[in-house]
Amino acid sequence: MDKNKKILLGDEAIVRGALEAGVDFVSGYPGCPSAEIGEEFFKIAKENGIYAEWSTNEKVALESAIGASFSGLKSLVNMKSFGINVCSDSLLPLVYTGTKAGMVIVVADDPSCWSSAQSEQDSRGYAYLSHIPMLEPSDPQECYDFTKLGFELSEKFNLPVILRITTRVAHQRMPVDFNKVDSKPQKTGEFIKNPLQFSTMPPRVLEMKKELLDKLERIKAYADKSKINLITKPQKPAEVGIAASGVAYLYVLEALKELDIDISVLKVNLFYPLANITVSRFIKDLKKVLVVEELEGYLEKELNAIAKDANPKLQVFGKALLPEIGELDVEKVCLALAKITGKKFKKNITKQLSLPKRTARLCEGCPYWYIFPVIKRIAPEGTIFGGDIGCNMIAGLPPHNMQDFLFSMGASLGISHGVKKSTKQKVISIMGDGTFFHAGMPALVNAVYNKSNPLVVILDNRITAMTGHQQNPGMGKTGMGESTEELKIEEIAKACGVKHIKVLDPINVKDLENSIKEFLAKDEASVIICRRICALLAKRQKQ
């Protein structure tokens, strides 16, 4: 195979790794910071015999990959942090049944919530909940290496493997060494019936759990024997050590240089199952250990537990010295390290200023500029505005300031229904087209079925825009760029039993005004679809 070296984004390096591992089937839902994975696959899918899709949501994406895996195709699923919440319902049974062909699931967390509402989720917690093996790369080179390793582990133990990345890994660039791959024809799989493996019907499900726990013990032993986790020893023996994972490991390397310290470092690459023997060996001769991990203190807890047997006098420092909120950086690690080693560290900043914050705003020419002010002006005083995920969440920022709650994909409508049922207030739920397909549909069925009457305004800008313009079921185009059935939101709403539906172009302000007035007076749920193409997309199409 030809060697190659190129500057790659972490997300792109994952695609290279999967390609080399022979991936056949790719599914996912776009989100920040994982969206470039799917996009990169679409660029190279055809020539490499890969089938790739944007699925309607992460649960369906995972289930599609399960179907592929059971049919003998290697698969990769990509999603942002919250995607794993959506797909968890099928993730837990998948770990019980196990995979047939290898599967890597990429989950991209966003510490500091650079591009995330909802919560500052640490998806590593799902490893414990579902018992799924989890790898954590630090940089694009490892994104490439660990994607390959993930497929290798998955094929060896017949389990899906999560590659957990964060914004600073997904959106980090560096020169990556990779091999050129010969193109292959698209593989046709075969589903060979085996309900004993694929059906979780009790009492078989409990046997499956036993098989799963056995597999995990075997993976632990494998990790202890192989060099998945990395220990770096100092020149002279030291009493202090550091355990780190993900991008935080790189901050540790930098901090050690900055403070001129030489101590032993454990780089935890396989977060779950944790290789106990490796950890025991690492902490055995230490007096103090600093655990450097972003967000939750999971590794810190593990080290404390392992130390009870391996080194009961060990002092474990983690979240007492490092924040649980927000991403880490070199400075934060330096401060923590200085504290436990007694070294001096001083911040080196020119000056402090208090400057006005520039928040995200709608793009120039965005059709939402017509919609938000009209809704706000026409809605009677005290109307409740339900916000949703996507570009429309900018409604919550100045100058609009019209978002009374914001939760997860499609939640504007589910919560609006609850408010409607509980009060006599007017409620308007505002969501985008992508979000409607993802999770808005069940909430609409619920509102109609259970007889409440929120007004739903769907901002149909003909694409999933916020995450960088990905195709969705309303566009008549698949992720691979093929023509397909164009699902009409108004027809879906009608089929869901909505009686009052209006499709309009929001630049016809009068039309929008009248529809809002008319529908807010209705006793049944109503839907206004504001259809106008995203301004950035329109500009791009012209060029």
Partner 1 sequence: MQDKTFNIIISGVGGQGVITLLSLIDEAAFIEGYDVKSSELHGLSQRGGSVEVHVRFGKKIDSPLIPSGSADLVISLEMLEGLRELMRTGKNTKFLINEYCLPFQGSLAKEEIKDHFKAIGDRLHLVAASDICKEKLQNEVVSTIYLLGYAVHKKLIPIKKESVIKAIERIVPEKYRELNIKAFQLAHD
Whole-Å CA distances, 498 to 440, 453, 516, 521, 527: 14, 10, 15, 15, 7
| Residue closer to partner 1, measured from CB, 39 or 63 | 39
Between residues 275 and 409, which has the closer beta carbon with respect to partner 1?
A: 409
Cβ atoms of residues 123 and 97 within 8 Å: no
DSSP assignment of 109-166 equals: E-TT-TT--S----TTHHHHHHT--EE--SSHHHHHHHHHHHHHHHHHHT--EEEEEE
Q: Tell me whether the omega of the peptide bond preceding residue 33 falls within 30 degrees of 0, making it cis.
A: yes
Structure tokens at 364: 């120039």
Give min distance, CB of 352 to partner 1, in A: 6
Segment lying near partner 1 (by CB under 8 A), choices 33-41, 289-297, 437-445, 476-484: 33-41
Interaction between residue 359 and partner 1 (CB under 8 A): yes
Taking the least distance from each CB to partner 1, the nearer of 148 and 168 is: 168
Binding to partner 1 by residue 247, rule CB under 8 A? Answer: yes
Q: How far is the CB of 363 from partner 1 (least distance, A)?
A: 7
CA distance linking residue 267 with residue 248, whole number of Å: 10
Site string for partner 1, 100-139 (x = CB under 8 A): --------------xxx----------------------x
Backbone angles phi, psi at 500, to 5 degrees: -115, 105
Instruction: Tell me: does residue 357 bind partner 1 (CB under 8 A).
Output: yes
- Cα–Cα distance for residue pair 161/106, rounded to 1 Å: 9
What Å distances lie between residue 197 and 63, 132, 162, 227, CA to CA? 16, 17, 21, 31
Per CB under 8 A, 167 contacts partner 1: yes
Q: Which range in 28-36, 183-191, 283-291, 379-387 contacts partner 1 by CB under 8 A?
A: 28-36
Identify the residue among 171, 215, 220, 438 touching partner 1 (CB under 8 A).
171
Considering the rule CB under 8 A, would residue 260 count as an interface residue with partner 1?
no
Total site size for partner 1, rule CB under 8 A:
51
Is residue 3 involved in binding partner 1 (CB under 8 A)?
Answer: no
Least distance between partner 1 and beta carbon 351 (Å) = 5
230-232, strands of its sheet edge to edge: 230-232, 264-267, 240-244, 288-292, 315-317
CA distance 399 to 378: 17
Q: Does 394 engage in binding with partner 1 (CB under 8 A)?
A: yes
**β-strands 288-292, 315-317 pairing:** parallel
Shortest spacing between CB 357 and partner 1, in angstroms: 8
Distance of alpha carbon 136 from alpha carbon 158, whole angstroms: 19
Pseudo-torsion of CA 408, 409, 415, 420, nearest 10°?
A: 150
Selected binder of partner 1 within 13, 153, 303, 466 (CB under 8 A):
466
Among 227, 347, 424, 542, binds partner 1 (CB under 8 A): 347
Query: Could you say which of 331, 490, 511, 513 contacts partner 1 (CB under 8 A)?
Result: 331
Report if residue 481 touches partner 1, rule: CB under 8 A: no
Q: Which of 13, 26, 32, 265 binds partner 1 (CB under 8 A)?
A: 32
CB atoms within 10 A of CB 158: 18
- Give the whole-angstrom CA distance, residue 290 versus residue 108: 25
CB 148, CB 19: distance < 8 Å? no
Question: Cβ of residue 358: shortest distance to partner 1, in angstroms?
Answer: 5
- Nearer to partner 1 by Cβ, of 32 and 52: the residue is 32
Nearer to partner 1, 383 or 467 (CB): 467
Q: How far apart are alpha carbons 54 and 26 in whole angstroms?
A: 9
For residue 518, the one-letter residue type is E
Strands lying side by side in the sheet with 405-406: 405-406, 384-387, 427-432, 455-460, 526-531, 500-504
* Closest of 169, 92, 85, 90 to residue 123, by C-alpha: 85
Cβ 463 to partner 1 shortest distance, Å: 14
Stretch that binds partner 1, among 271-279, 330-338, 446-454, 517-525 (CB under 8 A): 330-338
Determine if 54 is a binding residue for partner 1 (CB under 8 A).
no
Q: Does 495 bind partner 1 (CB under 8 A)?
A: no
In the complex with partner 1, the residue whose CB is nearer, 382 or 398, is: 398
State yes or no: residue 172 binds partner 1 (CB under 8 A): yes
- Is there binding between residue 468 and partner 1 (CB under 8 A)? yes
Give me the torsion for CA of 59, 42, 431, 497, rounded to 10°.
Answer: -60
Tell how strand 455-460 and strand 3-9 pair up.
unpaired
By CB under 8 A, the residues from 203 to 232 that bind partner 1 are none
- In angstroms, what is the minimal distance from the CB of 254 to partner 1? 4
Q: Which residues of this protein are in contact with partner 1, per CB under 8 A?
A: 7, 32-33, 35-36, 114-116, 139, 167-168, 171-175, 247, 250-251, 253-254, 257-258, 329-331, 334, 347-353, 355-363, 391, 393-394, 398-399, 466-468
